[in-house]
Amino acid sequence: MPPARILLSVGDDSGDLHAANLMRAMQDLEPGLEFIGFGMERMVRAGLEPLDAAQDSVMWFGNLLRVGRFRRRLAMCRAAFARGEVDLFVPVDFGGFNLYVCRAAARAGVPVFYYIPPQVWAHGLYRLKKLRKWTDRVGLIYPFEADLYATHGVAAEYVGHPLFDAIERDPPSEEVVAGLRERFGGDLVGIFPGSRRHEVRAHVPLIAECRRRVQREAEGARFAMVCPPGLRAEVGELVGAAGADVAVLEDVRPVELARAARVCLTKSGTITLEIASQRTPMVIFYRTSPFFYFLAKGLTSTPHIGLINVLADREICPERAMPRPDAGWLATQVLRLLRDGEAREACRRDIEEALDGFAEPGASERAARSALALIPTA
C-alpha cells in the first residue's frame, strides 16, 4: 500500500511553525507519510513538497493583492483532490483561504482535519456552520472553545496549544537572559510591536511616545524590542525617525526578552501567551482605525483583546484597543507595573493561575493522533 499523502496549507509564520511540528509528530507516529501543500521554510525542512513558491505572511488587505495566487492555489488543490492524490487535508489557521479549500475537499470526499481553526469565539461565529459542513474534525487549542463547538454540532477535540511544545523543545537561553539583564538593568521594558508591516508602522510611533513619557517619570527604565528579521531594518528606521531610545535586538527570541524584562508592552495576539509563559506582567494594546474598531466591536463575542485575559475570563493584564493613539494610557500602565511591586506580583500570580492546566506540552502529538485517525484504511 503506498504511503498516505497529506496536503497542508498555512498562511503565516506561526502557522508554518505549528504545521512543521505537527508534521514531525505525524511522522513519528506513522513513518513514511508524504506531505504536499503550501508552507514556508520550516515546513519544507520538515519534509513538505511545495505545490507553489514559498509564501510570505499575509493578512488583512494584503490578501486582496494576492487574489490571483490564491485562486491558482485553490485550483491546484481541486485538481489534486479530483485525481485522488490526497488522503487527508490539514489546514492550519488562515481561515480566509483555507475554508475555501475545506469546501473543495469535502465535495471531493477528502477528509479534513482543521488544526487551529479561525477564532470564531472572538469574531465570525457564522464560520461554525461552515466548519460543521466542511470538516471531519477540528483540533482546538483553547479549552474554552470546546463547549462552543459542541453547541454548534462541530466535531472537535481540545488538543492544547502548540506554543508550549515549542517552548519545551527550545526554552529561553539563560545566558541570553542574563546578558539582557546585565545590559539594560532591572527596569527593562520588553517591547513587542507586531510581526506584520502594517502593525509596526502603526505601533512604533506610539511606543516611542510612551517611552518618552515613562522615562520622564522613571529615568532608570530601559526599552528593548524584538521583531521578525524581515522587518528589523524598517523598525530601526521607524525608531530612528521617532527619536526613540529603544534597542532593536538581534538574535534574541521573544521568550528571552520576556523572561529578562520586568514589564512588557505588547500588541495583542499569541505573543501575549509567549510573554505569559515567562510569567511576566504586560500591558496589551492594538492600534487600529476607527472604522475597523467599530466593525470589530460589532463582530466580537469577547470583551478582551489579550489572549491571556481571554483565558482568565477577566482583565488580569491591562489592555486597550486604540482607534486613536493613547500613549498617555500606555505610559500610565507601564509605570504602575514598574513602580508598584504589589500590582506587579498580583499580575504575575493571576497569569500563573490562568495558565494552570493550559500551558502543557504535547499538543502536536495529540493533534497528530486525531488527524491520522481520519485517513481511510484499505
Residue 375 in contact with residue 333, Cβ under 8 Å? no
The domain defined by 172-355 carries CATH number 1.10.10.370: no
- pLDDT recorded at residue 162: 94
The count of C-alpha atoms lying within 13 angstroms of the C-alpha of 325, restricted to the half-sphere facing its C-beta, is 11
Q: Are 115 and 91 in contact (CB under 8 A)?
A: yes
Closest by CA position to 81, among listed 97, 103, 65: 103
**Domain ranges, ordered by start, for the chain:** 5-160+362-372, 172-355
The DSSP output letter for 28 is: H
Q: What pTM was computed for the model?
A: 0.86
What values do phi and psi take at 112, rounded to 5? -125, 125
DSSP β-bridge partners for residue 188: 222
d(CA 365, CA 332): 43
pLDDT 10s digit of each residue in the chain, 378 long? Answer: 689 999 999 988 889 989 999 999 999 999 999 999 999 999 999 999 999 865 554 443 444 456 788 899 999 999 999 999 999 999 999 888 999 999 999 999 999 999 999 888 766 788 999 999 999 999 999 999 999 999 999 999 999 999 999 899 899 999 999 999 999 999 999 999 998 889 999 999 999 999 999 999 999 999 999 998 889 999 999 999 988 899 999 999 999 999 999 999 999 988 999 999 999 999 999 998 765 545 555 455 568 889 999 999 999 999 999 999 999 999 999 999 999 999 999 999 999 999 999 999 999 999 999 999 999 885
Indicate if 172-355 has the same CATH topology as 5-160+362-372.
Answer: yes
**CA nearest to 163, candidates 295, 39, 308, 266:** 308
Which pLDDT score is estimated for 294? 52
- Cα dist from 188 to 1, 203, 352, 359, whole Å: 58, 19, 21, 25
Instruction: Give pLDDT, residue 367.
Output: 98
Output the pLDDT for position 61: 41
Question: What is the predicted pLDDT for the residue at 13?
Answer: 81
Q: What is the per-residue pLDDT for 53?
A: 67
Q: What is the pLDDT of residue 55?
A: 56
DSSP code of 153? T
Cα radius of gyration rounded to whole Å, the chain: 21
The dihedral sign for the CA sequence 226, 227, 230, 234: negative
- DSSP type of residue 54: -
User: What pLDDT is stored for residue 216 in this prediction?
Assistant: 94
In the block, residue with C-alpha cell 494584503: 62
Q: Which CATH number fits domain 5-160+362-372: 2.60.40.350, 3.40.50.2000, 3.20.20.70, 3.50.30.50?
A: 3.40.50.2000
